[in-house]
Structure 1
Amino acid sequence: MLKKLMRTDTSKATILIRLMVGAVFLSEGVQKFLYPLARGAGRFEKMGFPSPEFFANCVGVFEVLGGLLILLGLLTRGGAIFTFIIMSVAIAVTKIPIGLGHSFGPFALRDLHTYGFWVMAHEMRTDFAMWLGSLFLLIRGGGSLSVDALLTHQSGERGNQSET
């Protein structure tokens, strides 16, 4: 089961996606602890999360862990599951209300000059890029320049998984 989770494509270029996604999540996770009012519990409270300290710390831990796993290419798919879920929730909680133009549930709408689809698209550009990057890594794995490939003896192997 673990070996199957670590199985990866043979692309060397996957490291670029890993560096992008891993570095962003590691940085954002660390900032939740360094700047709790702006990036952590204070931000989660403004968004309307119940128990904002718990959720901010939980997300911070998973961002750091997921970011590190992705950067190393170790259990890349596991790290990508964390980051994919985090981005899915972030888009639903913070960006969908912008598209709708009103708060929903306990989640507060940010104060912007305008609302609607194009404002939402602009506001979620980084979230969407991280969501797609996480999805890519979830599907493809860490690539040939990863600990996953090294541990499963795939680094020079061709033919077991096609490059699509």
Structure 2
Amino acid sequence: MRKNLPMILIRVIVGLVFLTEGILKFAYPSELGWGRFAHIGLPYPHVLAPFVGAVEIAAGGALILNLYAGDAALLLLIVILTAIFTTKAPILLGHPLARFAAPKLEHYGLLSFIHEARTDLCMLFGLVATLLDSGMSLRLKSR
């Protein structure tokens, strides 16, 4: 148990963040659900936002409970990479990326990107750690 504690803590906090964000998409749909998705420029925001919210709730809960954690991490990796691509990549570039506009900021580029994406990057690396840990567990069990 003691050896697994760091990974348990990572899974719980990452799962809790995604679970909360999923709930918020339903609690405040015009602000954090379909409204945000429409503002970002994602297609079919009234369909996509509840779908993503449900994935975040289910997969976030699975991470917390360590149920199919590798599968949950993979689903959430798709969610967070999409979020980074659509909302943070334009900050890195300093201009729109396809249909995704850069927000109005005083500064653009790498430092601004890292600042604005700090939570997303922590979630990304927490998911990668979970995925690697799950893969390692599977390899150890098969021996």
Q: Determine if the TM-score, normalized by the shorter chain, exceeds 0.5.
A: yes
The structure 2 residue matched to 1:23, chosen from 16, 19, 22, is 16
Deviation at 1:11, TM superposition (A): 2.1
Count of paired positions: 138
Which protein shows a greater Rg?
1
Secondary structure at the aligned position of 2:102 is classed as coil
Are 1:49 and 2:42 matched, yes or no? yes
Maintained 8 Å contact 1:46/1:108: no
Structure with the largest fraction of helix: 2
Question: Could you tell me the percent identity over the aligned residues?
Answer: 39
Which of 114-123 and 103-112 deviates more?
Answer: 103-112
**Partner Cα distance (1:111, 1:61) in 2:** 30
Deviation at 1:76, TM superposition (A): 0.5
Hey, what does 2:7 align to over in structure 1? 14
Deviation at 1:80, TM superposition (A): 0.4
Maintained 8 Å contact 1:18/1:142: no
The structure 1 residue matched to 2:57, chosen from 58, 61, 64, is 64
Deviation at 1:17, TM superposition (A): 0.5
Deviation at 1:12, TM superposition (A): 3.2
Hey, what does 1:77 align to over in structure 2? 70
Maintained 8 Å contact 2:89/2:97: no
**Partner Cα distance (1:60, 1:88) in 2:** 15
Are 1:130 and 2:123 matched, yes or no? yes
CA pair 25-130 structure 1, distance change in 2 beyond 3 A: same
Structure of greater relative contact order (alpha carbons < 8 Å, 6+ residues apart): 1
Hey, what does 1:120 align to over in structure 2? 113
Alignment of 1:77-156 (within 5 A): 77-141=70-134
Tell me the amino acid that sits aligned with residue 74 of structure 1.
Answer: L
**Partner Cα distance (1:105, 1:80) in 2:** 27
Q: Which runs of 4+ in 1 moved over 3 A?
A: none
Deviation at 1:142, TM superposition (A): 9.8
Maintained 8 Å contact 2:11/2:63: yes
